[in-house]
Structure 1
Amino acid sequence: MKTILRWTIRIGLMLLLAALVLGLWKREEIARLWAVNTLFDESRIVANFSHMDRAFLTVPVARGDAPVSQLPPGAAMTLPEGAAEWLEARSVTSLLVLHDGHVVHESYHQGTDPEDLRISWSMAKSYLSALFGILVEEGAIASLDDSVTAYAPALEGSAYDGASIRNVLQMTSGVTFNEDYLDYYSDINRMGRVLALGGSMDGFAAGLSDREAEPGARWKYVSIDTHVLGMVLRGATGRDIPALMSEKVIAPLGLEASPYYLSDGEGVAFVLGGLNMRSRDYARFGLMYEQMGEYQGQQIVPRDWVAASTRASAPTKPDEIGYGYQWWVPRGARPGEFLARGIYGQYIYIDQQAEVVIVVTAADREFRSEGVHQSNVAMMRRIREAL
C-alpha cells in the first residue's frame, strides 16, 4: 500500500512538473489563447479594442516621413435627437464627423482617448481594396478575371482553386466558411485560435477544401477571402502587405501615428481585420475616398477603382445590403454613399454628395442583434442630415 502511495505521489509530482515546464515553454501561446477567449468579455472588451498589441503578435505599418496632414476644425455641429442614447446603447468609443474636410464633431467615450490605436476589424478589408486598386493600375495584377492560384499557387487543390480574383473581391468565392462568432467551433473562431497560437494563416486558407457554391454563383460574406487577396498581392509583388500599405496608402495620407497589423506566427499581416490606428487617421482614409481617391492634391487610389469598388456589383439578394470590392453599400443608398464596416460596431461612413465622412468605433456586444446595423446606418444618415 505504501509503495502504491509513493508511486502515486511520484507520478503526480512528475505530471505537475511537466505541466509547469510546458506552461513556461508555451506561456506566450497560452497567454494569447487566453486573451482570445476573453477578448470580448464585458469587463475587458473596451480596453482590449484599444490595446490589441497586448494580446497578439503584430507587425508595424510605417507612417512615412510626410508631415501630419491637418484636419481643420469647422463649426461644431449639434448631434441629432437620440444620439446620446445611441452612443450609450451601442457602446460607442469614438465618434468623429467630417463635413467638407472639416472636423465638426469629435468625441471619445468609455474611458478611451484620441491617441488610442483602435482595432478596425473588417474595416481593414476596405484598406486592402484600396491597395489592390493601386496595384492593378500599376500592372502588378493583369486582370481581375485571373485565377487566384495564378498568383498564390499554394491555393492549388484548395477550395479556392478555380476562383477568380473578382470572385474573391466580391465575396463570391463559394468557399464553405462558418462565420458565426458565437460558435466556438466555427471557422472564424478556429482561425482566431490559429492567429493567437502563432500558426499560419496561409496554411489555414490553403487547408479549406469544401465549397457550397461555384465561384461567382452566390454572394456570401467570407472573411478568409480577404486573406486570399493578400496572398495574391504578395505573390504578385514579392512584398509583404505592411510595406506595400505603408508606401502606397498610409504614407501619402500623413497620419498622426504609425498603425500596426495583428500578425500570424510567420509575420504575415492579418489583413482581413487586424489593422489598428487612431480614429482621426481612419477619418483621413475616409476623406480620401470621399474625394474619389484624391488627398491634398495627390491621386492616391485611382478614381475608376474608387467608383468600381464602392458600387454594389456583387450578386446580393434584393433585400440584402449591397457589396462591391470589399466595400458595403447600405440599402437605399444614393450614388456615392457607402461604408467600411467591422464587427462590434466599427464604421467609416462616406457620402460623397454631402461631403460627409463619419467614423464610429465601438465595443458593442449586441452588434449582431436584429436591427442594430440598420439603426446604426439610420443614425449616421441622421447625423449627415443635421449638418
Structure 2
Amino acid sequence: MRHVWKRLGRVGLALVLAVIAVGLWKREEITRLLAVRSLFAEERIIGNFSNMDRAFLTRAISRGDGPVSPLPTGDPVTLPETTDRWMRERAVTSLLVLDGGAIVHESYHLGTSRNDRRIGWSIAKSFLSALFGIVMADGAIASLDDPVTKYAPELTGSAYDGATIRNVLQMASGVTFDEDYLDYNSDINKMGRILALGGSMDGFAAGLRDRSAPPGETWKYVSIDTHVIAMVIRGATGRDLPDLLAEKIIAPLGLESQSFYLTDGRGVAFALGGINMTTRDYGRFGQMIAQGGHWQGRQIVPGDWIAASTIASAPTEPGQLGYGYQWWIPKGAGDGVFMARGIYGQYIYIDQPRDVVIVVTAADRQFREPGVNDQNVAMFHAIAQAVQAD
C-alpha cells in the first residue's frame, strides 16, 4: 500500500508540475485574456485605451524617416457654450479642431496627453478604405464587382462565398454576425478573445457559415466585413497590411509619432479596429481626406475614390445614418460631410465645404444609448459652424 501511495504521490507531483508548466507557457495568453475581460471596466477604460499594447500583440506601422508634417496653429475658435458639458457627459479624452489644416482648438482630458496613442477602434475601417482606393488605382484589383473569393480563395465555402467586394465595402455582405459588445457570447466578443489568445482572424472569417440575407440586399454593420476587405488587399498585393499602409499613407503623411496595429497570433493586422495613434496624427489623416486625398504637394489617395467612398451608397434604411465604403454619412448631411466612427466615442468628422476636421477620442461607456451619436454629430456641426463664424 505504501508503494501505491508513493506512486500516486509521484503522479500528483507530475500533474502539479505539468499544470505549472502549462501556466507558464500560456502566461502571456492568459494575461491578455484577463486584460480583455476588463478592457472596458469603468476604472480602467481610459488608461487601457492609451496602452493597448499591454493587452494585445502589436505591429508597428512605420512612419518612415521623413520629417514631421507641421500642423500650423490658427486663431483659437470660440467653442459652443455647451461644449464643456458635452465633453464631461461623453467622457471625451481629447478634442482637436482643424480649420484649413490649422489647429484652432486642442485639449486633452481625464488624465490623457498629446503623446497618448489612443485606439481609434472602427476609425481604422476608414483608413482601410483609403488604402483600398490606392490599391485599386494601382491596378491590383480589377473591379468592385469581383467576388471576394477571387483575391481571398480561403473564403470559398464560407458565408462570404458569392459576395462581391462592393457588397463587403458597403456592409451589405448578408453574413450573420452578432455585434453586441455587451453579450459575452456574441460574435464580436468571440473574435476579441481569438485576437487576445493569438488565434487566426483569417480562420475566424473563413469559418463563418450563416447568412441573414443575400449579398447586396440589405445593410447591416458587420465588423468582420472589414477584415475580409483586408484579406482581399493582402491577396491582391501579396503584402501585409502594416507595411502597405505605412508605404502608401502613413509615411507620406509625416506623422509625429510611431503608430501601431493590434494583430492576431500570426501577425495579421486587426484591420477592423486596431490602429493606435495620437490625436494629431488622426487629424493629419482626416485633413488629407478633407483635401480630396492631397497632402503636402502629393496626391496620396485618388480624389475620385474619396468622392465615391464618402457618399451614402449602401442600402441603409431611409432616414437613418448613411454608409459608403467604410465611411459614415450623418443624417441630413450635405455634400462633403462624413465621418469615421469607432466604439466608445471615437470620431474623425470631416466637413469639406467648411474645410473643418474634428477629431474626438473618448471612453464613453454610454456610447450605444439612444440619441448619443446624434448628440455628438450635432455638437460637431455646431463646432464647424463656430469655426466658420470666427
Distance, in Å, in 2 between the alignment partners of 1:180 and 1:4 is: 53
TM-score by length of structure 1 reads 0.97
Q: Secondary structure at the match of 2:130?
A: helix
Residue 127 (str. 1) matches residue 134 (str. 2) = no
Distance, in Å, in 1 between the alignment partners of 2:5 and 2:329 is: 69
Q: CA deviation at 1:296?
A: 1.4
Distance, in Å, in 2 between the alignment partners of 1:323 and 1:261 is: 24
Distance, in Å, in 2 between the alignment partners of 1:294 and 1:45 is: 35
Distance, in Å, in 2 between the alignment partners of 1:355 and 1:114 is: 23
Q: CA deviation at 1:25?
A: 1.2
Letter in 1 for 2:152: A
- 2:264 maps to what in 1? 264
Matches within 5 A, 1:88-103: 88-103=88-103
Distance, in Å, in 1 between the alignment partners of 2:44 and 2:271 is: 24
Distance, in Å, in 1 between the alignment partners of 2:22 and 2:166 is: 45
- 1:36 maps to what in 2? 36
Distance, in Å, in 2 between the alignment partners of 1:311 and 1:203 is: 32
Matches within 5 A, 1:243-258: 243-258=243-258
Q: CA deviation at 1:5?
A: 9.4
- 1:336 maps to what in 2? 336
Q: CA deviation at 1:18?
A: 3.5
Letter in 2 for 1:324: G
- 1:57 maps to what in 2? 57
Letter in 2 for 1:342: G
Residue 81 (str. 1) matches residue 95 (str. 2) = no
Letter in 1 for 2:308: A
- 1:274 maps to what in 2? 274
Q: Secondary structure at the match of 1:104?
A: strand
Q: Secondary structure at the match of 1:58?
A: strand
Q: CA deviation at 1:97?
A: 0.2
Distance, in Å, in 2 between the alignment partners of 1:23 and 1:155 is: 34
Distance, in Å, in 1 between the alignment partners of 2:320 and 2:219 is: 10
Letter in 1 for 2:282: Y
Q: CA deviation at 1:65?
A: 1.8
Q: CA deviation at 1:9?
A: 7.6
Q: Secondary structure at the match of 1:341?
A: strand
Q: Secondary structure at the match of 2:276?
A: strand
Residue 323 (str. 1) matches residue 304 (str. 2) = no
- 2:197 maps to what in 1? 197
TM-score by length of structure 2 reads 0.96
Structure 1, unpaired ranges of 5+ = none
Q: Secondary structure at the match of 1:369?
A: coil
- 1:145 maps to what in 2? 145
Q: Secondary structure at the match of 1:93?
A: strand
Q: CA deviation at 1:2?
A: 10
Q: Secondary structure at the match of 2:98?
A: strand
Identity percentage of aligned residues: 67
Residue 223 (str. 1) matches residue 223 (str. 2) = yes
- 1:242 maps to what in 2? 242
User: Structure 1 residues 305, 19: closer, same or farther in 2, change over 3 A?
Assistant: same
- 1:373 maps to what in 2? 373
Deviations 1:29-71 (Å, cap 9, x if unpaired)?
0001001101001111111100100110001110012210111
Distance, in Å, in 2 between the alignment partners of 1:14 and 1:368 is: 50
Letter in 1 for 2:31: A
Letter in 2 for 1:180: D
User: Structure 1 residues 4, 343: closer, same or farther in 2, change over 3 A?
Assistant: farther
Distance, in Å, in 1 between the alignment partners of 2:331 and 2:317 is: 11
Q: Secondary structure at the match of 2:377?
A: helix
Letter in 2 for 1:360: V
Letter in 2 for 1:52: M
Letter in 2 for 1:339: M
Q: CA deviation at 1:17?
A: 3.6
Q: CA deviation at 1:77?
A: 1.2
Distance, in Å, in 2 between the alignment partners of 1:4 and 1:181 is: 52
Q: CA deviation at 1:3?
A: 10
Distance, in Å, in 1 between the alignment partners of 2:101 and 2:275 is: 23
Distance, in Å, in 1 between the alignment partners of 2:178 and 2:232 is: 23
Distance, in Å, in 1 between the alignment partners of 2:326 and 2:257 is: 25
Deviations 1:127-161 (Å, cap 9, x if unpaired)?
00000001111101000000000000000000000
- 1:107 maps to what in 2? 107
Runs ≥4 residues deviating over 6 A = 1-12
Letter in 1 for 2:303: R
Deviations 1:190-246 (Å, cap 9, x if unpaired)?
000000000000000000000010000000000000000000000001010111101
Matches within 5 A, 1:67-78: 67-78=67-78
Q: Secondary structure at the match of 1:304?
A: helix
Deviations 1:108-139 (Å, cap 9, x if unpaired)?
01101101111010000000000000111110
Q: Secondary structure at the match of 1:360?
A: strand
User: Structure 1 residues 78, 9: closer, same or farther in 2, change over 3 A?
Assistant: farther
Q: Secondary structure at the match of 1:338?
A: strand
Residue 306 (str. 1) matches residue 306 (str. 2) = yes
Q: Secondary structure at the match of 2:182?
A: coil
Distance, in Å, in 2 between the alignment partners of 1:298 and 1:385 is: 29
Q: Secondary structure at the match of 2:203?
A: helix
Q: Secondary structure at the match of 1:77?
A: coil
- 1:354 maps to what in 2? 354
Q: CA deviation at 1:19?
A: 3.0
User: RMSD of the alignment, in Å?
Assistant: 1.6
Aligned length: 387
